[in-house]
Chain A
């Protein structure tokens, strides 16, 4: 017998008995993995994630130690030279990505997670209350994300937990909108209506019928929001409202060494390139997932 492990929560059920006996999520990922842009995007993303996560272990010298003259040129012992205070650029670069990830990852998960909960709830239990709630969220959308974040930073100061909360808050209204839109389509489908008619409890409809079918949009949203998180957190660091000196941080490094772009650009260019590669990589993955999701839902409509 074919022993396929099935997670009960991830089966596209009712009305899709002819579908392959695999979870919707697994099918989505397998199909996306065949796309060239998914492969390139994944490689770029993993490269920078690996660099940021393992970098601190590989740093040749302490990221806060003064080891050379300020803005020293690249040499054998310091391959990318020194920064504006004479610290090793390569070591600071290797150590400076972790803080970016530690803030942007939870911020994305919390923001999109709350948005998912609110969006699917609003789609399933449509009432004038949920519509009023969506209107209220539009108010948050009136602020560019950076402005919203800075508004809170003004009062509470640049603290890591605050940055996580503020960026999550900035994502929340958009994610709610996107997932409400995705879930509203599913709620109208016959298999959900059938489940309601046979008296399936709402919680099971939510987890077994609706959630698996928005998993594609959810992944795309997570990817997009992750790139925005990286952009906002790095920008806040660059503006001086992120991690404070003398800590190594990519955003901070860029503003610290920007004046020397003309003669010792590495202190600025290394973090800029890393952030660029990471955001492009994640976006390519999200784009591939988005294409496959659209393809799958087009197939569903035809079926």
Chain B
């Protein structure tokens, strides 16, 4: 088991390294000169040369990468090109706002998705399963911002006016006092992330329910409710761990567009602003952060699955 986990961690580390190469390669080494992109078409040659020097663009690419990576490993993500402050300090409040958004969304989406998935599997091919799958299919087809704008139109402007259409969070008050600003962004994220997860849960639950030991239990006349709760669900635990990881990684991607729709002051909005103003250190930091979140979440989920699957746990 330890060897399996160590192997998985090694793969995770290699993936992280490759991810940093990719982010760096795209932002700093592509033929499009970063200095020209930052300064715009009207910059003089001297300005470009000066900026290239201050960004370190005049050094060989490999050296630039090593310097950048050692900076990251020491917690130094560089300085924002627009604000001049350290990227980490600048983004800390955004990071907290996004974490609040993701936590609330995950806290709703995960139980809802698990319940819908398990219940559809138990009631397979009955009316509930059919209507649930049609509804999930529609929710899964709609792009995040379409759902976001739809909710704004329904609940904040055109039809009803229950919630604020934009999330003007004040950074000084605790987020728990400002929950009404979170309502619509959280609802959007829940609606977009639930379908995939619920479907995946349904599929793995059906697989469990179709396995011979469940048929055996049924033939022994064990109460169907006990079969679902005591027999089947236990073997669906690895699947639900994957489900939680999937929800979290899905949310990490969803925040970018959803935050933009609601002008929610999180890292998604910060990322889009950084792209708009070509603030390279911020773009690099946030894409590495989002990518690493994905890799680490999957890594932890895989380890958890190994720990709760006896077949894997007892492997030498």
Contact = CB atoms under 8 A, between A and B. Distances in A.
A142 B141 contact: no
Given A154-B283, A155-B37, A240-B276, A146 B253 contact: yes
A273 to B, nearest CB: 9
B225 to A, nearest CB: 30
By secondary structure, the A interface counts as helix
A150 B272 contact: yes
Chain A, interface size: which category?
35 or more
Shortest beta-carbon contacts, A-B, top 4:
A144-B253, A231-B143, A283-B141, A261-B157
B18 A139 contact: yes
A65 interface: no
Nearest to A268: B149
A146 B23 CA distance: 14
Interface string A281-303: 01110010000000000000000
Interface string B118-140: 00000000000000000001101
27 contacts: A135-B14, A139-B18, A141-B294, A142-B15, A142-B19, A142-B295, A144-B290, A146-B253, A150-B271, A150-B275, A151-B26, A153-B275, A154-B27, A154-B278, A154-B283, A157-B37, A234-B145, A238-B261, A258-B152, A261-B149, A262-B158, A265-B153, A276-B141, A280-B142, A283-B140, A283-B141, A284-B137
Given A139-B19, A146-B256, A238-B257, 14 more contacts: A139-B15, A143-B287, A143-B291, A144-B290, A145-B253, A150-B275, A151-B27, A154-B274, A231-B143, A239-B272, A261-B158, A262-B158, A283-B137, A283-B138
A151 B27 CA distance: 7
B31 to A, nearest CB: 9
Contact of B291 (A142, A230, A268): A142
Contacts of A265: 153, 157-158
Contacts of B27: 151, 154-155
A140 to B, nearest CB: 8
Given A152-B26, A154-B275, A268-B153, A143 B290 contact: yes
Contacts of A279: 141-143, 146
Nearest to B23: A151
A281 to B, nearest CB: 8
B184 to A, nearest CB: 13
Chain B, interface size: which category?
35 or more
A280 B135 CA distance: 11
A136 B280 contact: no
Nearest to B158: A265
Contacts of B43: none
By secondary structure, the B interface counts as helix
A147 interface: yes
Given A144-B256, A151-B27, A151-B283, A282 B141 contact: yes
B143 A275 contact: yes
Nearest to A230: B143
A147 B18 contact: no
A265 B149 CA distance: 11
A254 interface: yes
Contacts of B165: 261
Nearest to A284: B137
B150 A151 contact: no
B166 to A, nearest CB: 10
Contacts of B287: 143, 147, 151
A231 B144 contact: yes
B131 to A, nearest CB: 13
A147 B141 contact: no
Interface in B1-37: 11, 14-15, 18-19, 22-23, 26-27, 30, 32, 34, 37
Contacts of B156: 261
A227 interface: yes
B34 A146 contact: no
A185 interface: no
A235 B276 CA distance: 14
B169 interface: no
B23 A272 contact: no
B252 interface: yes
Given A154-B278, A235-B257, A239-B260, A276 B137 contact: no
B279 to A, nearest CB: 9
A156 B140 contact: no
Contacts of A80: none
A227 B156 CA distance: 27
Contacts of A240: 276
Contacts of B153: 261, 265, 268-269, 272
A241 interface: yes
A154 to B, nearest CB: 5
Contacts of A282: 141
Residue of A142, A150, A230 with most chain B CB atoms under a 10 A cut-off? A142
B165 to A, nearest CB: 7
B290 A261 contact: no
Interface string B286-299: 11001110110000
A188 interface: no
A272 B146 contact: yes
Nearest to B249: A144
Nearest to B250: A144
B69 to A, nearest CB: 15
Nearest to A138: B15
Contacts of A155: 26-27, 30, 32, 34, 37
A136 B18 contact: yes
